[in-house]
């Protein structure tokens, strides 16, 4: 998978070298923190657009924006054409995961609070972290982070079973995103991002017939197109690139454990964007999650 995923011609040389230098100089945790911020910043603004373009319409616009931005930079058709069969299957699986995950994520946000969806999303990653943890210190760090997350959730299980179904599906697919994303990132920053572009193009093909009709009104409203483009950049371009840069240097278990920061960023963004003020219990949960991540020692 290593030879064929090095699609150097698919990335501009200058951009590839710049990313390579940044990846080497900056700690992978920096890239992860940037991703963690944008992971819910974009969706928080997307919720405000649901009444105008619908839930699936917003998912369509998010994926379409990302696919169009990645296309000229990564030339996904070339990445797919040069890949062998196993890599093509990996790209197809990753693209399908991205498409269904984004749709289920927005369907869950339409019915449940963003903090609850974020907490359920993190719960799905616990197994990934446990599998890769090898030391008592990291098990203790995971326990502290999980405790903080449970406090942060405030365990308010919704009475909406359909919303919970979409949230649980999104959480399960997020595990797939971690596993497949690490395989994509194994080729290095340039190749990983090139393959990410190919996977995003596949995701767009999958979602094309699903949300196009709902997204149609946006094409007659320049402000809506501009807003949806911003959501797509914040939701799928910036965080996914940063994830690849972090995944290329962080072990899967370490990356999974650091995902416990997601409920924290969701809460903070809820305060800033949606004006949802956390309780004292929420603040304690945030402190425990941060302590757990800080105490964790990445595997070598």
Q: Which two tokens stand for residue 200?
A: 């995003």
Q: Provide DSSP, 40-99.
A: HHHHHHHHHHHHHH-HHHHHHHHHHHHHHHHHHHH-HHHHHHHS-HHHHHHHHHHHHHHH
Using CA atoms of 106, 271, 154, 232 in order, give the dihedral in degrees to the nearest 10. 20
Residue (of 8, 223, 256) closest to 123 by Cα position: 256
**What Å distances lie between residue 47 and 59, 113, 169, 219, 284, CA to CA?**
11, 11, 19, 19, 27
Helix (H, G, I), strand (E, B) or coil at 159: coil
**What percentage of the chain carries pLDDT values higher than 90?**
22
Hey, where are the domains in the chain?
2-295
Residue 272: Cβ within 10 Å count: 10
In angstroms, the CA 122 to CA 288 distance is 15
In angstroms, the CA 159 to CA 115 distance is 16
Check pLDDT > 70 for residue 224. yes
**Torsional sign, CA 124, 128, 131, 134:** negative
At 146-175, the pLDDT tens digits run 787 777 666 555 567 888 899 889 989 998
Output the pLDDT for position 79: 80
Q: Which of 63-72, 149-158, 223-232, 270-279 has the lowest average pLDDT?
A: 149-158
Alpha helix positions (H), the chain: 2-5, 13-25, 28-53, 55-74, 76-82, 85-109, 114-132, 136-153, 161-185, 189-215, 222-232, 238-247, 252-258, 262-272, 280-295
Output the pLDDT for position 99: 96
- Residue 124 is classified by DSSP as H
Q: Say which residues have a Cβ less than 8 Å from residue 18's Cβ, sequence separation at least 6.
A: none
Note the pTM of the prediction, 2 decimals. 0.77
Output the pLDDT for position 297: 66
At 199-209, the pLDDT tens digits run 999 999 999 99
* Radius of gyration of the chain measured on its C-alpha atoms: 19
């Amino acid at each position: 998978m290593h030879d064929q995923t090095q699609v150097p011609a698919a990335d501009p040389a200058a951009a590839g070298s710049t990313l390579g230098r940044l990846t080497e100089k900056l700690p992978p945790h920096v890239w992860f923190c940037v991703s963690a911020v944008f992971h819910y910043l974009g969706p928080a603004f997307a919720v405000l657009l649901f009444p105008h373009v619908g839930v699936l319409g917003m998912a369509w616009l998010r994926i379409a924006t990302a696919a169009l931005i990645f296309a000229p930079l990564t030339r996904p058709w070339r990445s797919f054409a040069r890949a062998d069969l196993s890599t093509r299957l990996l790209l197809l699986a990753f693209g399908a995961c991205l498409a269904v995950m984004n749709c289920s994520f927005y369907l869950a946000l339409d019915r449940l609070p963003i903090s609850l969806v974020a907490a359920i999303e993190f719960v799905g990653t616990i197994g990934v972290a446990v599998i890769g943890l090898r030391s008592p210190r990291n098990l203790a760090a995971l326990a502290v982070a999980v405790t903080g997350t449970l406090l942060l959730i405030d365990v308010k299980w919704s009475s909406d079973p359909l919303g919970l179904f979409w949230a649980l599906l999104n959480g399960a697919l997020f595990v797939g995103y971690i596993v497949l994303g690490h395989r994509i990132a194994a080729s290095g920053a340039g190749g990983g991002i090139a393959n990410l572009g190919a996977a995003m193009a596949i995701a767009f093909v999958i979602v094309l017939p699903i949300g196009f009709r709902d997204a149609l009104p946006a094409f007659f409203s320049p402000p809506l197109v501009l807003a949806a483009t911003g959501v797509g950049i914040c939701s799928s371009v910036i965080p996914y690139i940063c994830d690849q840069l972090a995944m290329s240097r962080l072990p899967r278990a370490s990356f999974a454990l650091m995902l416990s920061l997601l409920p924290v960023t969701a809460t903070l963004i809820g305060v800033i964007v949606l004006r949802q003020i956390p309780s004292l219990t929420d603040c304690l949960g945030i402190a425990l999650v941060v302590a757990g991540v800080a105490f964790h020692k990445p595997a070598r």
